[in-house]
Structure 1
């Protein structure tokens, strides 16, 4: 008999009434057998480590040590970040549920001029990979030579672009590429999977769809040969598969992506519903992903569909800033894509970007960013590569991360069985991505087990409440109908529900809550953590009946025993879920609830947040004898609460208006996109400027200090003297800059310039953030606020005192 166990201070089990409305039965037949996956088609590198671990690929999924594996991959560009931050930031990615870190090697960051290739400092690829390994991450290195990544000439140095044909088998070009690849190979020597290292794959080129002599399949084949010559023997060789990709089938496997909007588009209005939010049953390519070359007809990825697994590399965890189109996505705009991608068959959830960064400044201050001035299709900031990423350029935790983490933890603990499941199509599906009325859902199943995926969110388009819904899924062993009574699925809802999930030997027929994590809680037994679906009662269909749990606060339900040990279901509230981090601490997997960042380093639990606020965390199961200077502990039911009092006030920042804005020149249109062009350098003479005097000392005990700027205008630029530190296209998002990395003098005065935004500028800004111009007002350049936010970090040890 199921029974309740206490977790926190007050826990209750309640029966919630079913939603009113007509019974809309959504049907899906998942009884058809599926052929076994095929092997041997892809020509892979060495798949076995010296320790005997294996990494392989079949036609449907990845296998790690012979078992299906569905990892999460996040992009973080080492050469766009200070090397001093790499260790912490990689560990923060690991704590967020990332399994693999991916990074471009931007050729022009390493060899801006002819001569030696620079692998020092922020360009030290080898050290970055070593730190990733220490953090417990695998690595995919995106070799280029053309990367895109909003980089100047796609990352190919000017001296190469000026002198010879690129992106083809031109002999002179390929000789330079061979030297680049040889340098990468030397950096990664001993760090490949075959050596027991973390590098499991390399990507060759990017967004490649060029055909003709010396191009197409022949060029990708030649690049792979150069990678092998450089010693890059790895289990995975990938290429991007969208926009008519051209590659030699069997030599590489395509990876895919999708974004919640198109900042590279030329439209100055909202876009039609993106197909990124619609389940795909016939194709893996999700619309326009911004490739700068065009192809006609289907690419190799379309004809390869039944030969290779559905792997992702560029599902947008944010969006880049483009001058003409400044989209600002919400956390739900991003997170709602996840059930759609997984429910469409994705077996590697790869994000671009997961961590923001900043472009290095080139020789003589020249920008290395993509711009129309250098022939690029887009104008992007000279320095900022924030990307609205879950982790900002200085490691800031954004709200979207709280929505993504539960999905990552789900894949960590339940992704193996999911990887082997195949996509099943409902009886009725939307006629097109623009059809917002028909319910959007799918099932992935293998035999009688499966997961149900649902999405009722589309960016900038209101979705209807799906009234009185029940699902009927026919499986080989019988039909599962859920929930027990019809429910109204709210507008904006998205979720993953299990079907016939094995909870350590206890069968769960279905749940109307999402699995999140599994952990061994010692004397309490095995705990399976679930997330509620907002607006829908959490039902758990067990052998002795359906149990309905309230999501008002954390509750634990005992559902049976496995090998004499209790098996429990823990249902979190939405608020608790947003604070949840699942970490390996003190020798076991634990739940850590905190609004601040939490991770493990140096054998200690680390917390980081504003020094002006208390740092708090709740841990389950409790840590043995936690200790740290200033640590306050108390037990709250099964939760161990840890707290550090605030230890600093906000540093003072003296802000002085230095120069009023002049009349900005008109925004011109043109360039390859025929759209709004970033202003010429001379235009910044009309910018309003403010001086920002830092205190002396800045904040001596702080790990870092974020300068937060709230401005309204066109482009903001931050200077220390004549050195530009960062820049920003206004989009309504607060601009933050970590100051420690710049080695500023105590009491130094910085300068902020804001180019006026013109009322008639042909620039897209989301309606919620576009300035409201008064009648007769032609431009705006305002600084609404500037403050300094000190960050502190504490480390908690455990065990013997």
Structure 2
């Protein structure tokens, strides 16, 4: 029996249960209403035309580039938390991962820790960082604060300001210092703004600002914008964060939004309820608690501006920080499953915080947020790993491979998606805690649409959606698909196209996700799709006169050529021959292959590269980085004219040309010597602004266990780098060079790594040691179930499980 759900249908009970007794479930979405036309004129932008004539713009729905819809992907990378000599390679990694805009805070106390003494050198060299963004081909948004949060001491405002004047308002003394800080930033960015032909397209003012009252509120944001313009910071876009009741002068700035899969700033010592980050939003833009440290008094400007501004993101968590009282570990799927949800909710700029991890510089004091300096949270003094897709030492995390296909989708097909209106399905979950009702959304314009499905909620397994089909009602008729019901597995998430243009040929639907488009010139065009795990690949292609479809198992139907039983892989699944047009080839990769896919310029043209190694493109060359293995393998499409130096041909892999290489193996070792055993740790104090567990006071470290670590002097010989991995079980770990802390970590079960290249440079001749503060069995802190240790009846634990060196090999492949 076929069921068409409506909001009041009695049959909805079956959809809620998804039990074996249910017949086929047809999920219906009505997208026949006209698409609203974009409205301009409300937003007062800065100079938006570059010397080249390129123009940036914004309407109430989306951003534009040269008058066309533009859907960038923005990733946060803090230059002052990363070594300057690594910036270029890390930016290239981000670009290869599909990032188009780099965002970075300018942390005031990183530059003017002492009044009047500005530092703009080395890893604080903002100008050089922005110049490298331009060199690599990335645009930039500079988040100037002056209060930035960023888990930094006093939110980035220097001590000498905090302790001597009123901040975050129009206090004249404060504004004088802010103006001088902005002037310094303006000098650093002179010639680097969009209007000058540079990469800086945006300035963010303040952060999480919801203060009201005399000299505060929208007035203060307007003042900051005036100061920025006076400092020469004339850019197309001015933004503010829009959550937690944000206030700002409507039309002068554009709000940006975010959402996180957990709340490290919360006080709960157990799992949180299901987060609304995984639920489609049809009437709002704010996705839950984002950790603002001030309380709003009323709904903010972002709520009243919702029809006037585009839905832009800046802080969707690409990972999470560990805070002392709460240390949630997220999986790659916890992060990547947010993509179809945010895009299906209408987001037209996907912005991540953080995309690249880092480490705090150490000055006259440590520069982390802490309850000791009045902060709401305790964070590690140096480490800012954030479980980011790119770690502090440039290591690729598994989450990056899950995100990358979505980024390529936005790059190549965002122009189609951005103008599309969000359409609510006829049946929606009652709340984020409803784990049984199908989570579905649609964005449509005319007869074209994208379907968004999410069946993943962090820490809450969802039942499989069984025997499901979709009915998309469009102005030109209803598209029902697939032909037979499918099962959507627990944890699955994807984007499927409806009436998708393949360079003049209409793909009526596909049960696979579009990833990228590759123009091969006279050889035609290749579209790459990714199969959805556990779902049979099915395509229906329109075939007007003069169109032929070359594929196995092709069936002619009244609606076109139906392709079922497509085997995902590296071979061409379909070739469409169209009279008078170029051939269109379709590849459907497996989910695993899609996660190994890198797209970029190599050997003179845009190509596809499949490799299990970390890959990035570097001025026409290809860089491969392998952690733990000296063996490399890659497959390239279209084929190269000849094998590059340093690799050997390894035949073909479908339409891909395969190559292999092997570097001399290195097995660096480390010796570990126990120096002292742990003593009974004091009870964890509770209090602070959060009235929760406080990080142990410095004197508590007298109870820490300690081990000496000896790294051989030739540990880096023949390697690009090596990762010192410190697996311990305890409360807090500190890596010391002599008496100087060089890194630190809150135990959570997540691996702690530090690059040896940077570590050995920082170590000098001082001995290296690890101190571990014991974790008490009664500690009122949240550690995930997977990482919670077995105390075996003991009151505390402090041990080293393993310390080792993971070799990192790099292969530069030049055509």
Q: Give TM class, smaller chain.
A: over 0.9
Deviation larger for 371-380 or 691-700 = 691-700
CA contact (8 A) 2:329 2:748 kept: yes
Q: Assess if the C-alpha contact under 8 Å between 1:695 and 1:747 holds in 2.
A: no
Quote the residue 2:354 is aligned against.
353
Give the secondary-structure state (helix, strand or coil) at the position aligned to 2:583.
strand
Residues of 2 paired with 1:79 and 1:588: CA distance? 34
Question: Following TM superposition, by how much is the alpha carbon of 1:642 offset from its aligned partner in structure 2, in angstroms?
Answer: 2.1
Residue in 1 aligned with 2:11? none
* CA positional deviation for 1:209: 0.1
Match of 2:12 in 1: none
Contact 1:375 1:672 in 2 (8 A): yes
TM-score, reference length from structure 1:
0.95
2:363 counterpart residue number: 362
Which of 673, 676, 682 matches 2:690?
673
Name the counterpart of 2:592. Answer: 575
1:416 — aligned with what? 415
Provide the C-alpha distance between the structure 2 equivalents of 1:301 and 1:672, rounded to a whole number of angstroms: 27
Aligned partners of 1:664, 1:494: CA distance in 2, in Å?
45
Q: Which residue of 2 aligns with 1:542?
A: 541
CA deviation string 1:472-492 (max 9, x = no partner): 111011111111111121111
The answer on 1:437 being equivalent to 2:436 is yes
User: Could you tell me whether the CA contact under 8 Å between 1:458 and 1:492 is conserved in 2?
Assistant: yes
Confirm whether residue 770 of structure 1 aligns to residue 769 of structure 2: no
Please state whether the residue corresponding to 1:94 is helix, strand or coil.
helix
Secondary structure of the equivalent of 1:402?
helix
Q: Distance in 2 between matches of 1:65 and 1:528?
A: 25
- 1:783 maps to 2:800: yes
Describe how 1:62-101 pairs up with structure 2 within 5 A.
Answer: 62-101=63-102
In the alignment, what sits opposite 2:228? 227
Contact 2:572–2:655 (8 Å) recurs in 1: no
- Taking CA–CA contacts closer than 8 Å with sequence separation of 6 or more, which of the two structures ends up with the larger relative contact order? 1
Q: Structure 1 residues 745-754 or 390-399, which shifts more?
A: 745-754
| Closer/same/farther in 2, CA of residues 50 and 680 from structure 1, 3 Å limit | same
Contact 1:506 1:561 in 2 (8 A): no
Separation in 2, partners of 1:407, 1:552: 18
| Residues 222-301 of structure 1: pairs in structure 2 closer than 5 A | 222-301=223-302
Q: Which of 586, 593, 610 does residue 603 from structure 2 map onto?
A: 586
1:130-529 correspondence runs (5 A): 130-363=131-364, 366-521=365-520, 524-529=523-528
List gaps (5 residues or longer) in structure 1.
1-18
Residue 616 of structure 1 is matched in structure 2 by 633
CA distance in 1, matches of 2:790, 2:598: 40
- 1:37-60 per-residue CA deviation (whole Å, 9 max, x = no partner) reads 111110101111111111100110
| Residue of 691, 712, 723 corresponding to 1:695 | 712
Q: Which residue of 2 aligns with 1:553?
A: 569
Deviation string for 1:631-652 (max 9, x for gaps)? 5554444322222213132212
**Secondary structure of 1:368 counterpart:** coil
Q: Which residue number corresponds to residue 14 of structure 1? A: none
Contact 1:385 1:393 in 2 (8 A): yes
Q: Which secondary structure state, in structure 1, belongs to the residue aligned with residue 145 of structure 2?
A: coil
* Range moving further from structure 2, 658-667 or 90-99: 658-667
Does the 8 Å contact 1:709/1:786 carry over to 2? yes
Deviation at residue 323 of structure 1 after TM alignment: 0.3
- Cα deviation for residue 184 of structure 1 reads 0.6
* In structure 2, distance between residues paired with 1:739 and 1:678: 28
**Cα distance in 2 for residues equivalent to 1:523 and 1:749:** 62
- How big is the shift at 1:746? 8.4
Say which is worse superposed, 525-534 or 101-110, in terms of deviation.
525-534
CA contact (8 A) 1:693 1:748 kept: no
1:210-244 Cα offsets, whole Å, 9 max, x none, are 00110000000000000000111111000000000
1:283-311: CA deviations, max 9, x gaps?
10111100000012210000000000000
CA distance in 2 between counterparts of 1:463 and 1:175 reads: 54
Structure 1 residues 612 and 463: alpha-carbon distance in aligned structure 2, compared to 1, 3 A threshold: closer
| Preserved CA contact (<8 Å) 1:694 1:747 | no
Partner of 2:56: 55
Q: 1:434 to 1:745 in 2, by over 3 A?
A: closer
Distance across 1 between alignment mates of 2:763 and 2:736: 13
How far did residue 556 of structure 1 move? 1.5
Give the whole-Å Cα distance in 2 for the aligned partners of 1:384 and 1:267: 23
Tell me how far apart the structure 1 counterparts of residues 692 and 583 of structure 2 sit (CA, whole Å): 63
Secondary structure of the residue aligned to 1:408 is helix
Q: Name the counterpart of 1:12.
A: none
Instruction: Provide, for residues 502-536 of structure 1, a one-character-per-residue CA deviation record: whole Å limited to 9, x for no partner.
Output: 01111000011100011124565211111111111
Secondary structure at the aligned position of 2:709 is classed as strand
Q: Does the aligned pair in 2 maintain the 1:23–1:486 contact within 8 Å?
A: yes
Looking at structure 1, the residues matched to 490 and 714 of structure 2 have their Cα atoms a distance apart, in angstroms, of 50
**Does residue 1:628 correspond to 2:627, yes or no?**
no
Are the counterparts in 1 of residues 733 and 745 from structure 2 also a CA contact under 8 Å? yes
**1:611: how far off?**
6.4
> In the alignment, which of 735, 738, 741 is matched to residue 755 of structure 2?
738
Stretch of structure 1 that moved more, 276-285 or 612-621: 612-621
Count of equivalent residues: 777
Partner in structure 2 of residue 660 of structure 1: 677
Q: State the TM-score, normalized to the length of structure 2.
A: 0.94
1:620-675 deviations in Å (ceiling 9; x for gaps): 11223242346555444432222221313221211111111111111111111000
- Tell me the SS of whatever aligns to 2:707: strand
Shift of the alpha carbon at 1:427? Answer: 1.1
2: CA distance between counterparts of 1:680 and 1:386?
Answer: 23
Asked if structure 2 preserves the Cα contact closer than 8 Å seen for 1:20 and 1:468, the reply is no
> Which whole-Å deviations, capped at 9, do the CAs of 1:335-367 have from their partners, x for residues lacking one?
11110000000000000000000001121xx21
SS at match of 2:142: strand
2-side partners of 1:725 and 1:648: how far apart?
29
Does the 8 Å CA contact 1:529/1:569 hold for their aligned counterparts? yes
Between the aligned partners of 1:614 and 1:620, the Cα distance in structure 2 is: 21
Cα 1:518/1:602, change in 2 over 3 Å: closer
CA distance in structure 2 between the partners assigned to 1:614 and 1:108 by the alignment: 44
Partner-residue secondary structure (3-state), 1:163: coil
CA distance in 2, matches of 1:728, 1:454: 36
Name the residue aligned to 1:16.
none
Shift of 1:32: 0.7
Return 290-299 or 618-627, whichever deviates more. 618-627
Alpha-carbon distance in structure 1 between the residues aligned to 2:629 and 2:750: 22
Kept after mapping to 2: 8 A contact 1:657/1:691: yes
Match of 1:719 in 2: 736
Unaligned runs of 5+ in 2: 1-19, 543-559
Alignment correspondent of 2:547: none
Query: What is the CA distance between 1:722 and its match in structure 2?
Result: 1.3
The CA distance in 1 between the partners of 2:350 and 2:608, in whole Å, is: 23
The answer to whether the 8 A contact 1:436-1:463 is kept is yes
2:92 aligned with 1:115: no
Shift of 1:415: 0.7
Cα pair 1:132 1:138 within 8 Å, conserved? yes
Q: Equivalents in 2 of 1:658, 1:370: separation in Å?
A: 31
CA separation of 1:403 and 1:612: change in aligned 2, threshold 3 A:
closer
Preserved contact between residue 570 and residue 654 of structure 2 (Cα < 8 Å):
no
